[in-house]
A and B are shown apart, each in its own frame.
Chain A
Amino acid sequence: MTAPDSFEAFVVARQAALLRTAYLLTGHAQDAEDLVQTALVKVVPHWRKIADDPEPYVRRVLVRENISRWRRRRWREVTSDALPEVLAEASDHDELLWVRAALAGLAPRQRAVVVLRYYEDRTEAETADLLGISVGTVKSHARDALARLRSGLARESVERT
């Protein structure tokens, strides 16, 4: 029942990065924590096989679990007018709200494509592999998602000026 050193070392080293990705995928700090914890819990039975290079498998579980959760619970973020207190004093508070709202407007798989392609700088093939979809689907999701983000961010700029 004791966790192997490699698991503890991986969690300690990679938890922040995983949480950042999860935060972008979910849009909520608490949901991000839940998502990463769930992904790590799910990889435990397979740890012996993936211990040498666990990151790809963990990330695959992470993004797929997020989509599955959405499917199961029809879980969609409800955007709030106010970010957490720590952001209240940030100079780009409004911009962050707009980015988050724009992301929330995407379907979970589109959001995952955006996060993996443009935040984690993964190739289309890697993104397709992680999500278990074809490269063509990645391309079309990326194209649609970017169009919607551009549209949303453009509106934000107009409203700010």
Chain B
Amino acid sequence: MTMHVKDRLERLSDEAPRELGAPADLWRRGRRRQARQWLAGVGALVVVAVVGGVVADPVLAPGRVEVATPSAELRLPDVFRQPGAWEPAFDGPPGPLAAVGPGVRGGLLTERNAWWGVSGTTGESRFLDLPDAVVGSEADPALSEDGRQLAYWYTGATADEPIVQGDAEPAVGVAVLDLVTGDVQRWDTGTPHGLMTAGLVWAGEVLWWVGGDFSTGGTDEERDGQSSARLVVHTWEPRSDDRGTPEGVGVSMYASGSAPGGALVPGRAGSLRLLVGDEVARRISFDQDLLFQQSTTPALSPSGLLAGVLHEDPSVYDDAPHPVLVGEVDADTGAVLLAPVGDVLAWSVLGWRGPTEVLVDATATSDGTQRVIAQVVDVRSGDVLGPLAEFHGNVPDSFASGVWSADVVDAPDAPFAPDHRLVGLALAGAVLLLVRAGLAVRRRRDRS
């Protein structure tokens, strides 16, 4: 019977066609099919990865941050931590902030610079969603002394071709965000080309800002990439919206030091100006050069002690720590005789913690990593009383100066916030493995 079947099958197979198409055509079809399958596979994985990355955002978002009540007191976080690129922003008004610094936020396709803040009540570090904020080294924001108001440069459309500093967007005005209510007030300058930004300084409730319209005089070749502006000093009290343009005040406010109810800004011939409200309250002169560094040096105590770090050679900028100097401001003349505090070295003075205790920054090694710390120094004895806070990542550009004398709060650990692109890729990989496992199961089932 078997042979009988074989004979009949052979006889039937004689009816089969004899030839196929050209082998070259089959080869081309095979190659095209392979390319299509490859593209489809890669496309599917990309789609899964992108969807995974997008879905990861809400899924992995940490819980809400407890927003401080308006009456909440400022606290000094024991850690000032730069958030990771994939950590979220505050999802509403964050309440008083202790500090604000620059960071980088992750994106599915590109990264972008962004400001982040450290809560002055919980110590939580998160990004800040500041509407239209300019993010760049020439456009540092400024926190008020109580950490409840944040001033920043904002960008927008200019009437003519914009001129920018660095690679940031052109600044067109100054905004103040009430960190408790979330209200934003703007001082729109109507600048035609953008503003040259030269400092934001809080003196109590009054914001001093320095900026000026970029000039377009001359041709591009004549300017040779250089831009100029006539800088003007402005004062602004956002809560009453009082605005002023004081005359005869220097325009150098690129850095400021802290003072109770005011601020210290550089003056002529190595002197300081103490700004209180919308006035220059006094001039302070001293016998040695002090280093000015963003918003951390020098600092005036409520009792009239001035602390700063010595700048041995003002013509040289180095990265080394300098001796800490302290002196009492003469109530009549404003003169200060500075003297070193023991052999303490620091990059800058952060602020006053108590009548005779000053906070300076230094480096220390913790968890195998060298970090900047804030340590307390007794200016009478020159003793270092110990570290009070650590800085993880970038040291913030602006502090609420009132935070240095506040009680310490334990900052929470960083939330779990992995790179969303990696999450997407992991999902794509998992899908791939599941598909392969499914195929393997199907093959095994076929065999049985």
A residues whose Cβ falls under 8 Å from a Cβ of B: 1-4, 7-8, 11-12, 15-16, 19-24, 29, 32-33, 36-37, 40-45, 47, 83-84, 86-87, 92, 95-96, 99-100, 103, 114-115, 118-119, 121, 132-134, 137, 146, 149-150, 153
Contact = CB atoms under 8 A, between A and B. Distances in A.
B29 A41 contact: yes
B416 to A, nearest CB: 41
Given A15-B20, A37-B26, A146-B1, A95 B8 contact: yes
B117 to A, nearest CB: 55
Interface of B: 1-2, 4-6, 8-21, 23-24, 26-31, 33-34, 443, 446-448
Most chain A CB neighbours (cut-off 10 Å) among B6, B19, B23: B23
Nearest to B443: A132
Contact of B30 (A29, A36, A42, A92): A42
A96 B9 CA distance: 9
B9 A24 contact: yes
Nearest to A21: B13
A115 B8 CA distance: 11
Contacts of B14: 20
24 contacts: A3-B24, A11-B23, A16-B18, A16-B19, A19-B17, A20-B14, A20-B16, A23-B17, A24-B13, A33-B17, A33-B20, A41-B26, A41-B29, A42-B30, A44-B27, A44-B30, A84-B15, A86-B15, A96-B12, A96-B15, A119-B6, A132-B447, A133-B447, A149-B5
Given A41-B30, A44-B26, 5 more contacts: A20-B16, A37-B26, A96-B11, A118-B6, A134-B448
B23 A8 contact: yes
The 5 tightest CB contacts between A and B, nearest first, are A44-B30, A3-B27, A23-B16, A20-B13, A11-B23
Given A16-B18, A41-B33, A134-B448, A99 B12 contact: yes
Best-buried of B1, B8, B10, B16 by chain A (most CB within 10 Å): B16
A40 B22 CA distance: 12
Contacts of B19: 15-16, 19
A121 B26 CA distance: 28
Helix, strand, loop or mixed for chain A's interface? Answer: helix
Contacts of A153: 4-5, 8
Nearest to A8: B23
A19 B13 CA distance: 8
A44 B10 contact: no
Contacts of B29: 37, 41, 44
B13 to A, nearest CB: 4
A8 B27 CA distance: 9
Contacts of B27: 1-4, 7-8, 44
Contacts of A1: 27-28, 31
B439 to A, nearest CB: 12
Contacts of A132: 443, 446-447
A146 B1 CA distance: 9
A20 B13 CA distance: 5
Given A11-B20, A22-B16, A86-B15, A119 B33 contact: no
A32 B16 CA distance: 8
Contacts of B2: 118, 146
A153 to B, nearest CB: 8
Contacts of A87: 15
Given A1-B28, A11-B26, A99-B9, A44 B33 contact: yes
Given A23-B13, A95-B8, A42 B33 contact: yes
A59 B8 CA distance: 21
